[in-house]
């Protein structure tokens, strides 16, 4: 599926996504003008249950590889995995001279790069006030509110006008970190924005999202009412939230123990950067919590999405080494359920209740979590501040993009100036025109396990099929010298039916194959193994379908001897 | 796992579930006293994505089979599949003299029994005012509000007191059907209820659910604002909702076309029973809708849960024969998302938007759906009306049961008188005591496809494993006469890695097996195929783990010739 034509004319600015449209994850956007290419973000996508056994999905970097001489820089908006998780994969394939990132993201990217020496790319920290000038393109920044510190919107200044990428954002009028830069956004709007690419994650939520301060106050209230241990799960990257939990613990005279590798890493980076502040003796060695007074302990852990190997899931399953649930424990989910994770999360909650814990989840009654993404009214505010001529919703599934485009029209973007695109589709812009000019290659690349790297669509399709009805294999041995069957065909299967209870079927299939293939071989002059295999498949598929109405994967195997 | 002892003493009344505790589905509750056994409901459970390729799960009927002489009757509370879907499976295994059901449930059960002739069980229609006297046990009823007409609570009168089963219920003060029987519930409370078994589905929802009348009014409002076609998906069994959609269509001068087998069946039964009322010419032949004025058409269909083969999913995918989405269409989800179905539902919505339809889902802004199950405040009302001495939450996952028990305590049930049980656990009651006396067999039975019937846990486990990392099989041929390998081992795999890209690995594995098994055979005096297979597995597992960090299912095959 190779189609890598931007179709751009020499004076046009190209804007396109290699990931992030029609999905929440693997964000990667490009702004191209003549011989210059700016890449914004390089994320991964965490698959839902439909992608079987896959660890994550990354972008197809083919276009970047083929145009690497044009690439001036990779600009990082913020340090979430769906924006930085693909960087080491990208650098392995594509020469990127400079990576620009800021604050927290720098710390997290350094961490990744340390594990992969030998990359010849320079990591540069940008400041909000800077403008980075390349050739005809230059880049500037403005601060946003989001669920990780140091999140920025990115402005790519082009000869045709400014292309603004919103980053991940919300508007929090009482944030726990610094304010968003309202003034700079308004100024950009005054100067004129050619095209806005804006975060669509919460475009279905028809209001303003809650402030982090609300969550902070609620957590303090909840902590005060709890006598026993508090076990609280949240997204590891939400450093502000972790700091609030520390403050609620301080206020209720609790020590803190941390569990989960990503939680430990973020807190480490957060401390280094000054985002995590706590008295020296606040943290308890996670191996020694049994010696602490239960009422005076907060356990912060990963696993808010029911991830099977995360700390909370192991606590719930009773397999965590240090933490066993006891009467009086309260587990708080300071998180929301990402669609696709509900079943796993509910399983975890059921197990926690069964072990005797109380469980508090985020709800309109508890407000233990606030989203980091703008609701519809915040999306409108950004549109009003920036007043873009053209609008391209990004960072969302198709319905989110579509609804965001409707929102943009309602705030004054002209009908026809909104572009709901697919990954790869190129939007060609001039100061007074916009058109879809072409499409570049932007497939999904599946990553599974440490050793192998990417696996293809065929493997995914096979796993899907195997998961439904299992497989059945018939194995025959043919004497090459005289084209005759040796012995009886063997039938083996897994995940299809329980073979011990169905030995009749096994015998029937074996006999059927023997009869049919013997007939076939008698008519055969020159042995063609593929013809024999196809015939075995046909015979078995018919038999199985009539007998069971199921469709296991059928694998015929021919062994040759002489 | 056989453990079938109720542990009941002669004067104790036993109450237990064969399904419905720790799950939403396959409801089946039993009340036993001496030589009498009353069974309430016989449902199926529709699995979430974790049960691979399974159509549904039914109850383990072993206890009923072993005690069939005691069974006086099967009592049906209402006609939903999670309460009646298992009846034909039950009757195939267990002799049930009489089935009592009412109204809509009778129609739906008749439909099932017609397809399976030869059952010797009498289906009897009960009326709300009747009391059915068996020996020492008798049964009476009271009407509830629910999302299917003719839903009842069931009272089993025993020598120790009344055991009340709430059925599925809510309290709707402005229902579209008849009122719940508040007076009869209050009277039962006045006389004294020994134990209440009550629906826990919505015990996490901390309020009163909405009335069907609210939904009815909202649908009319929404229909009025839509110019093009209305395509509306709802649960087929919700006859009241279908009638409301008919009325909203009448009010906006629309004809109706119906799609989806279960929708057609329910409307048929609903018409027969007088629940569906519409002018003669209201319904349009579903094959002829292209000839109708689009603005004057409502399409009612199945598929609100994103079920792959349901009408709406096919419309969304563009594979429906009669219905193609066109500009101006509006799809309304008059339904909620059952956990586990979110991803499928979102996929459907994305596709609908992509085809140009507008989509309206249930939300606090639209209210296109009301639940049929009591929220926490309604659960409290039932507890206040019935005033049970003992309380056993039913019909829910563990956390729902647990929270429902807390709710019961808050309304006056004495601490220690609430019993959160597992399927099979027996609650032994007298007029002034309650204890868990034993447990009967209550496993899951998995049903897959038409031909085979139940499949075992082994098959499910294998499918789960196959779905993660696929499988790899090595096949060798051994000459029995001299214990030597013939030819080269064949390596085949599916869903593991893409073999064409990894031919090196295939050759290495083949050579490794050849070397190892040749060595092994040289030391072998008497050939033991299982020993050879185990050795092949060990060699392959080590190799694969070191090379890929994955764990495909490894299947060694040994062919013997001479």
Q: Domain boundary residue among A303, A335, A360?
A: A360
- Residue A475 and residue A546 in one domain: yes
- Residue B437 and residue B477 in one domain: no
Q: Compute the distance between CA of residue B296 and CA of residue A559 in angstroms, rounded to an integer.
A: 65
Check: CB of residue A316 under 8 Å from CB of residue A348: yes
In A, minimum Cα distance to B559 occurs at: A490
CATH number of the structural domain spanning residue A263? 3.40.50.10710
Look at residue B449 in the predicted model and tell me its pLDDT: 62
Residue to substitute from A52, A510, A559, interface B, most B β-carbons within 10 A: A559
The C-alpha of A456 sits at a distance from chain B's nearest C-alpha, in angstroms, of 7
Q: What is the spatial order of strands in the sheet that B56-59 belongs to?
A: B56-59, B444-447, B454-455
Burial of A119 (C-beta count, 10 Å sphere; 0-12/13-18/19+): middle
Q: Compute the distance between CA of residue B397 and CA of residue B114 in angstroms, rounded to an integer.
A: 33
Note whether residue A462 is domain-resident: no
CB-CB neighbors (< 8 A) of B449 in chain A: 548-550
Note whether residue B54 is domain-resident: yes
The C-alpha of A178 sits at a distance from chain B's nearest C-alpha, in angstroms, of 33
Q: Compute the distance between CA of residue B426 and CA of residue B428 in angstroms, rounded to an integer.
A: 6
CB B492 to CB A555 under 8 A?
Answer: yes
Q: Of all residues in chain B, what percent carry a pLDDT higher than 70?
A: 97
In B, minimum Cα distance to A348 occurs at: B399
- Residue B411 and residue B556 in one domain: no
From the list B459, B549, B560, which residue is nearest A450 (CB)?
B549
CB-CB neighbors (< 8 A) of B375 in chain A: none
Within B273-373, residue ranges assigned H as helices are: 311-317, 342-354
Note whether residue A149 is domain-resident: yes
Residues in chain B: 562
- Residue A356 and residue A375 in one domain: no
Note whether residue A3 is domain-resident: no
The candidate with the shortest Cα–Cα distance to B37, out of B158, B191, B131, is B158
CB A560 to CB B467 under 8 A?
Answer: no
Note whether residue B343 is domain-resident: yes
Check: CB of residue B244 under 8 Å from CB of residue B280: no
Look at residue B451 in the predicted model and tell me its pLDDT: 47
Check: CB of residue B142 under 8 Å from CB of residue B128: yes
Mean pLDDT value across residues A433-445: 95
Highest mean pLDDT among A545-554, B103-112, B390-399, B502-511: B390-399
- Pairing between strand B433-439 and B425-430? antiparallel
CB B463 to CB A399 under 8 A?
Answer: no
The C-alpha of A237 sits at a distance from chain B's nearest C-alpha, in angstroms, of 25
Mean pLDDT value across residues A447-466: 74
The band of A449, judged by pLDDT with boundaries at 50, 70 and 90, is low
Q: Compute the distance between CA of residue B437 and CA of residue B430 in angstroms, rounded to an integer.
A: 12
Average pLDDT over all residues of chain A: 92
- Residue A97 and residue A179 in one domain: yes
Residue to substitute from A24, A309, A397, A471, interface B, most B β-carbons within 10 A: A471
b/e code A512-524 from CB counts within 10 Å (16+ = b): bbbebbeebbeee
CB B343 to CB A49 under 8 A?
Answer: yes
Task: Tell me which residues of B are annotated as active site.
Answer: 199, 373
**pLDDT tens-digit readout, A473-522:** 999 999 888 889 988 999 988 888 876 777 888 999 999 999 999 999 99
CB B399 to CB A466 under 8 A?
Answer: no
CATH number of the structural domain spanning residue A536? 3.10.20.580
* Secondary-structure breakdown of chain A: helix, strand, coil percentages, each rounded to the nearest 5: 35, 25, 40
Task: Check residue B155 and report its DSSP letter.
Answer: E
Check: CB of residue A343 under 8 Å from CB of residue B48: yes
The C-alpha of A548 sits at a distance from chain B's nearest C-alpha, in angstroms, of 4
CB A353 to CB B399 under 8 A?
Answer: yes
Q: Compute the distance between CA of residue B463 and CA of residue B476 in angstroms, rounded to an integer.
A: 25
- Residue B348 and residue B221 in one domain: yes
- Residue B115 and residue B99 in one domain: yes
CB B559 to CB A398 under 8 A?
Answer: no
CB-CB neighbors (< 8 A) of B399 in chain A: 346, 349-350, 353, 359
Look at residue A290 in the predicted model and tell me its pLDDT: 73
Note whether residue B431 is domain-resident: yes
CATH number of the structural domain spanning residue B83? 3.60.15.10
**pLDDT tens-digit readout, B12-51:** 999 999 999 999 999 999 999 999 999 999 999 988 765 6
The candidate with the shortest Cα–Cα distance to B415, out of B448, B447, B389, B440, is B389
**pLDDT tens-digit readout, B423-449:** 999 999 999 999 999 999 999 998 876
> φ and ψ at B88, to 5 degrees?
-70, -35
Q: Which two tokens stand for residue A33?
A: 């003008």
- Residue A526 and residue A542 in one domain: yes
Mean pLDDT value across residues A209-217: 95
Could you tell me the pTM of the whole model? 0.89
- Residue B225 and residue B341 in one domain: yes
Q: How many CB pairs under 8 A join A and B?
A: 188
- Residue A335 and residue A379 in one domain: no
CB-CB neighbors (< 8 A) of A471 in chain B: 466, 471, 494
From the list A402, A473, A475, which residue is nearest B353 (CB)?
A402
In A, minimum Cα distance to B469 occurs at: A53
Average pLDDT over all residues of chain B: 92
Q: Domain boundary residue among B360, B388, B416?
A: B360
- Residue A52 and residue A166 in one domain: yes
Q: Domain boundary residue among B455, B484, B501?
A: B455
- Residue B399 and residue B526 in one domain: no
Whether pLDDT at B366 is above 60: yes
The candidate with the shortest Cα–Cα distance to A332, out of A293, A360, A372, is A360
Into how many domains does chain A fold?
3
Check: CB of residue A126 under 8 Å from CB of residue A158: no
Distance of CA B175 to the CA centre of its chain: 25
Note whether residue B365 is domain-resident: no
In A, minimum Cα distance to B353 occurs at: A399
Check: CB of residue B185 under 8 Å from CB of residue B385: yes
CB A346 to CB B397 under 8 A?
Answer: yes
CB A559 to CB B555 under 8 A?
Answer: no
Note whether residue B3 is domain-resident: no
CB B559 to CB A560 under 8 A?
Answer: no
CB-CB neighbors (< 8 A) of B340 in chain A: 342-343
Which residue segment(s) compose the domain that A350 sits in? Answer: 212-360
Look at residue B549 in the predicted model and tell me its pLDDT: 78
> φ and ψ at A234, to 5 degrees?
-150, 175
């Amino acid at each position: 599926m190779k189609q890598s034509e931007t179709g751009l004319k020499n004076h046009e600015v190209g804007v396109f996504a290699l990931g992030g449209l029609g999905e929440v994850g693997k964000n990667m956007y490009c702004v191209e003008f003549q011989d210059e290419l700016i890449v914004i973000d390089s994320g991964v996508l965490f698959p839902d249950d439909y992608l079987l056994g896959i660890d994550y999905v990354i972008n197809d970097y083919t276009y970047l590889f083929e145009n690497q001489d044009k690439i001036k820089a990779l600009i990082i908006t913020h340090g979430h995995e769906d924006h930085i998780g693909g960087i080491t994969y990208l650098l392995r394939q594509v020469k990127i001279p400079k990576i620009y990132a800021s604050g927290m993201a720098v710390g997290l990217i350094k961490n990744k790069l340390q594990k992969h020496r030998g990359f010849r790319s320079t990591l540069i920290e940008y400041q909000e006030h800077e403008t980075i000038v390349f050739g005809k393109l230059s880049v500037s920044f403005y601060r946003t509110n989001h669920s990780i510190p140091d999140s920025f919107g990115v402005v790519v200044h082009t000869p045709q006008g400014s292309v603004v990428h919103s980053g991940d954002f919300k508007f929090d009028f009482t944030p726990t970190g610094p304010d968003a830069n309202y003034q700079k956004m308004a100024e950009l709007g005054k100067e004129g924005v050619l095209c806005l690419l804006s975060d669509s994650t919460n475009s279905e939520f028809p209001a303003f999202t809650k402030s982090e301060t609300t969550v902070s106050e609620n957590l303090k209230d909840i902590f005060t009412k709890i006598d026993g241990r508090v076990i609280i799960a949240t997204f590891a990257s939400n450093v502000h939230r972790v700091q609030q939990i520390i403050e609620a613990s301080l206020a209720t005279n609790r020590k803190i123990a941390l569990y989960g590798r990503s939680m430990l890493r973020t807190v480490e980076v957060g401390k280094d950067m000054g985002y995590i502040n706590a008295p020296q003796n606040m943290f308890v060695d996670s191996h020694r919590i049994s010696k602490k007074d239960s009422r005076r302990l907060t356990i912060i852990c990963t696993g808010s999405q029911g991830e099977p190997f995360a700390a909370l899931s192991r606590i719930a399953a009773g397999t965590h080494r240090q933490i066993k649930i006891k009467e009086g424990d309260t587990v708080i989910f300071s998180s929301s359920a990402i669609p696709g994770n509900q079943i796993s999360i509910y399983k975890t909650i059921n197990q926690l209740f069964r072990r005797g814990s109380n469980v508090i989840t985020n709800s309109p009654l508890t407000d233990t979590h606030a989203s980091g993404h703008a609701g519809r009214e915040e999306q409108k505010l950004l549109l009003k501040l920036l007043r873009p001529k053209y609008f391209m919703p990004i960072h969302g599934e198709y319905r989110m993009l579509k609804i965001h485009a409707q929102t943009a029209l309602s705030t004054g973007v002209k009908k026809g100036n909104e572009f709901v695109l697919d990954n790869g589709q190129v939007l060609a812009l001039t100061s007074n025109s916009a058109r879809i000019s072409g499409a570049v290659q932007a497939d999904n690349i599946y990553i599974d396990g440490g050793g192998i790297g990417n696996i293809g669509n065929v493997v995914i399709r096979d796993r899907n099929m195997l998961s439904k009805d299992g497989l059945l294999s018939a194995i025959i041995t043919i004497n090459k010298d005289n084209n005759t069957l040796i012995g009886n065909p063997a039938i083996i299967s897994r995940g299809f039916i329980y073979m011990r209870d169905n030995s009749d079927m096994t015998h029937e299939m074996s006999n059927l194959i023997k009869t049919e293939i013997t007939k076939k071989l008698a008519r055969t002059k020159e042995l063609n193994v593929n013809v024999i295999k196809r015939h075995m498949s046909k015979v078995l598929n018919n038999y199985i379908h009539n007998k069971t109405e199921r469709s296991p994967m059928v694998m015929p195997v021919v062994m040759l001897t002489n």
